[in-house]
């Protein structure tokens, strides 16, 4: 795992927020999101899910899916539940993903940025309960 620089965090935060705003502007009607958390094998995901559920509720977004991966592959591409959400985005079942923090996606700048590019290509957004700069 790598520690991100504050400049990289700021750049990625701006990229994510602009992308989320763009994705939300294109949605007519109900905004559907998938909740995603990454936890340790022995960790209860309920508190982290509650955080993202609260964010979705505050923004008046419908929650269509809930997904929990347990730590394993660091690369987001190797997580089955995150892959399920990406499939739902491709099929337009959801418009975006809500996660507690950037670390749930990846704390490696290149992997996190790759996920943001993938979401942009799907016209989807990523909402975080905590900004990238609050790692």
The rounded mean pLDDT for the chain is 90
Q: Provide the percentage of residues in the chain whose pLDDT is more than 90.
A: 74
Average pLDDT (21-50) is: 95
- DSSP SS3 for 65: strand
Q: What is the pLDDT of residue 54?
A: 97
- DSSP SS3 for 10: helix
> Best-predicted range by mean pLDDT among 2-6, 25-29, 56-60, 106-110?
56-60
Is 94's pLDDT higher than 80?
Answer: yes
Instruction: Domains for the chain: give ranges and CATH numbers.
Output: 6-128 (3.40.50.1390)
* This prediction's pTM: 0.90
- 56 vs 41, higher pLDDT: 56
Is 135's pLDDT higher than 50?
Answer: no
Q: What is the pLDDT of residue 84?
A: 96
| Residue 129 DSSP symbol | S
Is 29's pLDDT higher than 70?
Answer: yes
Is 134's pLDDT higher than 70?
Answer: no
Is 131's pLDDT higher than 80?
Answer: no
Is 122's pLDDT higher than 50?
Answer: yes
Is 66's pLDDT higher than 50?
Answer: yes
Three-class DSSP labels, 71-123: CCCCCHHHCHHHHHHHHHHHCCCCCEEEECCHHHCCCCHHHHHHHHHHHHHCC
């Amino acid at each position: 795992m790598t520690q991100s620089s504050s400049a990289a965090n700021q750049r990625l935060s701006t990229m994510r927020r602009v992308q989320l705003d763009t994705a939300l502007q294109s949605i007519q009607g109900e905004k559907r999101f998938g909740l995603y958390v990454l936890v340790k094998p022995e960790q209860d995901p309920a508190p982290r899910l509650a955080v993202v559920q609260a964010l979705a509720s505050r923004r008046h977004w419908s929650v269509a899916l809930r997904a929990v991966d347990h730590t394993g592959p660091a690369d987001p591409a190797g997580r089955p539940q995150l892959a399920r959400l990406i499939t739902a985005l491709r099929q337009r079942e959801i418009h975006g993903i809500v996660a507690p923090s950037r670390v749930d996606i990846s704390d490696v700048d290149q992997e996190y940025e790759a996920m943001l590019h993938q979401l942009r290509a799907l016209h989807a957004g990523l909402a975080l309960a905590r900004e990238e700069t609050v790692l």
